[in-house]
């Protein structure tokens, strides 16, 4: 993993210290090598976390042999060896073993439109053509890697970090529409806040949506879509899977998971596994251990709020051994760690497991593992969330946006909702061959959650906590071939009850039971952490919060509303408050004592 930076300036480059600061914002993304180059009309930079071809030959910015094209790239191509062979047969010659050189050659030789569908991996990149002046940027199919940009009076600026973009455009103001949407999360499903799919929490800084290209030639930059999750639905394949037997489906799922794990083990550094003991990570561990032999696993223990890790993980390790690391979370550290995480993420926490997952990634780094596989995204792809059970039982209308995508209408939210209604129409149109209305609605809900919730909440969150530890996090559940299978799988094999009474990921549960043992097929716990313990009204002073007042939010009516307001206030306090206050100043004495947080300046002065 890496950090990328690009600036096509209009008149003159910014001062060198501005670029140095922008690049330093991304140091954790690339601690192994940093470079920035100034050329006529543009500046390009990169921070590198070395994973494939760890030699200096893979350092960036990267140029083709003719020095016409410059590339700055963040990501991994898991099929780079196959692509390299195909390109070599067409006459290409390579000087390194890096996937960066393969990507550059593919883009130049095949063209962007032909190259992107052939990539299997995660990526965000900027390709600049010095002959034509065209700049092209793209983000991977599901948005596993971030890309922020701005095109204005100071030119086009692109980076992996929104604050780096703000540094160059010379403006740092809060994006109040993002504030409003974050607090407008509909319902009480999960401990998360909504994020816009195309804007940051910094005004004037956009985020390129997943599956999109950003192109700038002579005029203003424009975006275009090259992929959406609903593209994977195929009526003929769906009909074939409707008729398939359970054994055939299980065999196909196993083959696709095995292929995805094999791809995600491609690296020139050790690859470990985040092993929670849930269905998804257990299957990944099972297949990875069989393929790699020596393997390190990292498991979070949250005493008092989760049981699966100690119930399942030891039994897994008895069947297939690995070097296991079990990291116990300390509830008292949660508030301080969340404050630090929000500052690094440049956004209020999307999903409040950041501090605990960060501790696993830091443990991996200390133990020489800088690439990890995790089980994220199976819930959206295979229908694993428990709330689907009650939601689908209510027989929602086809155009109902659901709990993970819908938002409470209000000022600053209508643009988001209009965009989501447009997405739902496109999904339903693609699914029109499905005649059963309930089946079509349920399939549309999962695809919509993959399109918006997964891309704006789950993936940016995991990118933030892994990159904060300078560790690459890989997501085998988003292998395009695997997701294509799931997109055409009848709902009775996804968000449906299993024979043992547990709900969700029915086919995945059966596979884990068949391949590993029924001890894995237990009730889903999710990512348990101490967020709800932190969100007790007696621990906070919301009357002091500035950020909610900026968008007209009233006093929190529930713990989950309070949790969102806390997150938003921590973010606002870190980047926009006239004078940043210590987090203890926002808490009561009871809160500070419960979470070992120091008081504010007034309390310190009184104590002295």
pLDDT in tens, 60-99: 999 999 999 999 999 999 999 999 999 999 999 999 999 9
Residue 290 and residue 419 share a domain: yes
Instruction: Report how many domains make up the chain.
Output: 3
pLDDT above 70 (res 259): yes
Length of the chain: 608
Same domain as 263, residue 405:
yes
pLDDT of residue 602: 42
3-class DSSP assignment, residue 385:
coil
* Span 362-388, pLDDT tens digits: 999 999 999 999 999 999 999 999 999
355 domain-assigned = yes
pLDDT at position 389, please? Answer: 95
Q: What percent of the chain has pLDDT over 70?
A: 97
**pLDDT, tens digit, for every residue of 328-370?**
999 999 999 999 999 999 999 988 889 999 999 999 999 999 9
Tell me what percent of the residues of the chain surpass a pLDDT of 90: 88
Among 520, 553, 575, identify where a domain stops: 520
- Name beta bridge partners: 273: 297, 373
Query: Same structural domain for residues 84 and 115?
Result: yes
Same domain, 425 and 279: yes
Q: What is the CATH number of the domain that holds 170?
A: 3.60.20.10
| C-alpha distances in Å from residue 279, one per residue of 308, 375, 505, 513, 518 | 10, 9, 9, 9, 10
* Closest listed residue to residue 138, CA positions, set 36, 6, 232, 49: 6
CA distance 118 to 113: 10
In a domain, 530, yes or no: no
251 shares a domain with 212: no
Q: What is the pLDDT of residues 213-244, one digit of tens each?
A: 999 998 899 999 999 999 999 999 999 999 99
462 plus 541 within the same structural domain: no
Show the tokens assigned to 310.
Answer: 């100690």
DSSP annotation string for 570-598: HHHHHHTSSSPPPGGGGB-HHHHHHTT--
Q: Is residue 527 a part of any domain in this protein?
A: no
How sure is the predictor about 605, in pLDDT bands with cuts at 50, 70 and 90?
very low
CA distance 461 to 341: 10
Q: Is residue 265 situated within a structural domain?
A: yes
pLDDT at 326 over 70: yes
Indicate whether 186 pLDDT > 80: no
Strand duo 323-328 + 296-301: pairing:
parallel
Query: 403 and 258, same structural domain?
Result: yes
State yes or no: pLDDT of 459 exceeds 90.
Answer: yes
Task: Assess contact for 81 and 125: CB atoms under 8 A.
Answer: no
Query: Hey, is 4 helix, strand or coil?
Result: strand
329 assigned to some structural domain = yes
CB of 567 within 8 A of CB of 535? no
Largest CA distance in the chain: 76
Looking at the structure, do residues 200 and 338 belong to the same domain, yes or no? no
3-class SS shares of the chain: helix, strand, coil, % to 5 = 45, 15, 40
Q: Mark which of 466, 489, 520 sits at the end of a domain.
A: 520
The CATH number of whichever domain residue 499 belongs to comes to 3.40.50.620
Average of pLDDT values for 474-488?
Answer: 98
List 272's β-bridge partners, or say none: 372
Average pLDDT (498-508) is 94
Residue 216 lies in a domain: yes
Which are the contacts of 32, defined by CB distance < 8 A and separation ≥ 6?
48, 49, 50, 54
Phi, psi of 258 (to 5 degrees): -65, -40
Q: Which domain holds residue 410?
A: 230-520
Determine the pLDDT at residue 456.
95
460 with 545, same domain: the answer is no
Mean pLDDT of 299-318: 89
Q: Which of 159-168, 478-487, 551-560 has the least mean pLDDT?
A: 551-560
Shared-domain flag, residues 387 and 462:
yes
Find the mean pLDDT for residues 252-274.
Answer: 97
Same domain flag for 385 and 244: yes
Q: Helix crossing, 334-345 with 354-366: angle to 10°?
A: 80
| pLDDT tens for each residue of 545-560 | 999 999 999 999 899 9
Is the pLDDT at 466 greater than 70? The verdict is yes
* Chain mean pLDDT for the chain: 94
| Tokens linked to 295 | 């393997």
Indicate whether 525 belongs to any domain. no
Query: Tokens 């068949």 identify what position?
Result: 514
Residue 145 domain flag: yes
- 239 in the same domain as 198: no
């Amino acid at each position: 993993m890496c950090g990328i930076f690009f600036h096509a300036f209009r008149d003159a480059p910014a001062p060198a210290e501005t670029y140095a600061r922008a690049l330093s914002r991304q140091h954790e993304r690339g601690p192994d090598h940093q470079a920035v180059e100034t050329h006529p009309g543009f500046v390009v930079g990169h921070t590198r976390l070395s994973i494939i071809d760890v030699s200096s030959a893979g350092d960036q910015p990267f140029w083709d042999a003719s020095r016409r094209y410059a590339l700055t790239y963040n990501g991994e191509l898991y099929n780079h060896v196959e692509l390299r062979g195909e390109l070599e047969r067409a006459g290409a010659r390579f000087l390194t073993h890096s996937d960066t050189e393969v990507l550059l050659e593919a883009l130049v030789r095949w063209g962007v439109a032909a190259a992107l569908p052939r990539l299997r991996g995660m990526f965000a990149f900027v390709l600049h053509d010095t002959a034509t002046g065209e700049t092209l940027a793209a983000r991977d199919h599901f948005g596993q890697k971030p890309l922020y940009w701005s095109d204005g009076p100071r030119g086009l600026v692109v980076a992996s970090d929104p604050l780096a973009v703000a540094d160059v455009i010379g403006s740092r103001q809060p994006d109040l529409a993002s504030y409003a949407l974050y607090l407008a999360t509909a319902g009480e499903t999960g401990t998360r806040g909504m994020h816009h799919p195309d804007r940051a929490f910094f005004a004037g800084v956009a985020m390129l949506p997943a599956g999109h290209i950003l192109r700038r030639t002579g005029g203003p930059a424009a975006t275009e879509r090259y992929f959406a999750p609903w593209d994977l639905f195929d009526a003929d394949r769906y009909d074939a899977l409707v008729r398939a037997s359970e054994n055939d489906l299980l065999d196909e799922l196993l083959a696709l998971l095995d292929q995805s794990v094999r791809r995600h083990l491609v690296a020139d550094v050790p690859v470990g596994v985040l092993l929670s003991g849930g269905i998804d990570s257990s299957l990944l561990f099972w297949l990875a251990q069989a393929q790699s032999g020596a393997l390190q696993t990292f498991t979070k223990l949250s005493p008092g709020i989760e049981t699966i890790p100690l119930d399942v993980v030891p039994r897994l390790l008895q069947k297939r051994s690995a070097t296991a690391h079990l990291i116990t979370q300390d509830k008292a550290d949660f508030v301080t760690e969340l404050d630090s995480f929000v500052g690094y993420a440049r956004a209020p926490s999307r999903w409040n497991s950041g501090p605990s997952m960060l501790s696993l990634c830091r443990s991996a780094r200390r133990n020489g593992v800088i690439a990890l596989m995790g089980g994220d995204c199976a819930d959206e792809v295979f229908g694993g969330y428990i709330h689907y059970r009650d939601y689908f039982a209510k027989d929602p209308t086809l155009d109902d946006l659901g709990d993970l995508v819908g938002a409470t209408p209000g000022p600053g939210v209508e643009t988001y909702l209009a965009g989501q209604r447009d997405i739902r129409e496109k999904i339903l149109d693609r699914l029109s061959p499905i005649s059963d209305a309930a089946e079509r609605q349920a399939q549309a809900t999962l695809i919509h959650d993959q399109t918006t919730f997964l891309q704006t909440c789950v993936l940016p969150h995991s990118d933030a906590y892994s990159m904060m530890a300078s560790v690459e996090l890989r997501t085998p559940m988003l292998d395009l071939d695997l997701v294509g299978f799931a997109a055409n799988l009848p709902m009775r094999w996804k968000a449906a009850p299993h024979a043992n009474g547990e709900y969700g990921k029915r086919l995945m549960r059966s596979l884990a039971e068949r391949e590993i043992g029924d001890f894995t097929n237990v009730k889903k716990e999710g990512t348990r952490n101490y967020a709800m313990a932190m969100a007790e009204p007696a621990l906070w002073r919301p009357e002091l919060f500035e950020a909610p007042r900026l968008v007209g939010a009233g006093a929190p009516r529930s713990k989950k509303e309070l949790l969102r307001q806390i997150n938003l206030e921590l973010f606002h306090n870190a980047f926009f408050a006239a004078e940043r206050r210590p987090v203890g100043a926002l808490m009561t004495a009871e809160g500070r004592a419960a979470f070992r947080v120091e008081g504010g300046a007034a309390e310190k002065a009184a104590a002295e």
